[in-house]
Amino acid sequence: MSGITPDELNLLIEQTYKVEKEFNELKASYAHLQDTVEEVVEFLPNAIWILEKDGGVFLQNSQAKSLGKLFELLELKNDDYEVQFDSKSYLIKSSSYKEKLLLSATDITEQKRKENLATMGQMAAHLSHEIRNPIGSISLLSSTLKKRVLPENVAIVEEIQKSVCRIERIIKATLMFSKGVHANKAPFMWSELQDALNMAVGYYDYTKEITFIFPQQKFILNADKDLLEMLFSNFLTNAIDAIELDDNDYGSVEILYESDDEFHKFYIYDSGVMIENTKELFEAFKSTKVKGNGLGLVLSRQIAEAHGGSVELLSSKRKGFEIKLAL
């Protein structure tokens, strides 16, 4: 120390403080950068893993942590691929950078569902077109046959007609689902729609004694009458099927009506068996009934939405639905 002057010592101390300050600033900057990277990784909507060269996890976000068992199934390769895990579909992507491997898992379940629905809708529409002509012939021939058969055989022909009517409803629903719902609105009385619903119920096959209670109010609907007939018929036939599965020998279906400044509101209740799987209630091609095709409630909701309204399952103890149609 004898060879260092006081000025040189002070300069050395100042430089030491300066280096320490720069080091602390650099350390703080690195910590900030690391926090920023972690925040960005956490912000991403998919699961992210950043791996060391030996396969150890260098960094992961919370989504990745929640999918720890999925991570165990992943292959460390550069090609993108899909994997099924826990009833969901994931797209796996990977990329390498400076001895680090980046893995991402994106939930594509909804995308795959829509793709499958589109494919199923196209296939169903094609089949419906193919079936339409022979069904039309059967319907025409059965009407002719009914006029010519012996009286004791009329009931058999009527059963054929009911079955044909059911197939026609399925074809109509399938084609509408594939093309989309478009409402052509015009004013009409509720009583006109009620008459059409009574006729539709008359064509539907059921064995039990069922009481149908319709609104007695007189009011005008500015809507697409054919579409609303399909909407309400779907609920009525669903109610009939639910009553048929019930242990009682009789049942009831009730439609209540009220309105406010914005909506016509209908409440449909039935005494049939309760709905077991409410999560798939409005899923296309997924029916909660043995006889269902999985489109009735989906189309009913779309028809209500085409009229500025909605269809919702009521959460009350009494089994029912609320249908809203914009005034």
Average pLDDT for the chain = 80
Q: What is the pLDDT of residue 311?
A: 87
Cα dihedral 255/260/264/270 (nearest 10): -20
Q: What is the pLDDT of residue 214?
A: 92
Tell me, yes or no, whether 236 and 141 share the same domain: no
Has residue 128 been placed in a domain? yes
pTM: 0.55
End-to-end Cα distance, the chain:
96
Confidence of residue 265 (pLDDT cuts 50, 70, 90): very high
Give the residue from 265, 187, 263 showing the smallest Cα distance to 220. 187
Tell me, yes or no, whether 164 and 34 share the same domain: no
Tell me, yes or no, whether 227 and 88 share the same domain: no
Q: What is the pLDDT of residue 171?
A: 73
Q: What is the pLDDT of residue 259?
A: 86
The least confident of 91-100, 223-232, 272-281 is 272-281
pLDDT in tens, 138-191: 888 888 888 888 888 888 887 787 778 777 777 776 666 666 677 888 899 999
Q: Which domain holds residue 71?
A: 6-108
Tell me, yes or no, whether 141 and 189 share the same domain: no
Has residue 1 been placed in a domain? no
Tell me, yes or no, whether 245 and 285 share the same domain: yes
Confidence of residue 283 (pLDDT cuts 50, 70, 90): low
Which of 57, 87, 108 is the C-terminal boundary of a domain?
Answer: 108
Average pLDDT value for residue range 228-257: 88
Give the residue from 234, 235, 225, 236 showing the smallest Cα distance to 192. 225
Q: What is the pLDDT of residue 287?
A: 59
* Whether the predicted pLDDT of 266 surpasses 90: yes
pLDDT in tens, 52-75: 877 788 778 888 888 888 888 887
Tell me, yes or no, whether 113 and 82 share the same domain: no
Tell me, yes or no, whether 174 and 199 share the same domain: no
pLDDT in tens, 287-302: 555 555 566 788 888 8
Has residue 176 been placed in a domain? yes
Burial 192-202 (b: 16+ CB within 10 A, else e): ebbebbeebbe
Tell me, yes or no, whether 153 and 217 share the same domain: no
Confidence of residue 282 (pLDDT cuts 50, 70, 90): low
As a 3-state breakdown, the chain gives helix, strand, coil percent values, each rounded to 5, of 50, 25, 25
pLDDT in tens, 210-219: 889 899 989 8
Tell me, yes or no, whether 114 and 66 share the same domain: no
- Residue 137 CA, distance from chain mean position: 36
Has residue 218 been placed in a domain? yes
- Residue 285 CA, distance from chain mean position: 10
Alpha-carbon span 239 to 228, nearest angstrom:
17
Tell me, yes or no, whether 192 and 319 share the same domain: yes
pLDDT in tens, 101-126: 888 888 888 887 777 766 766 776 67
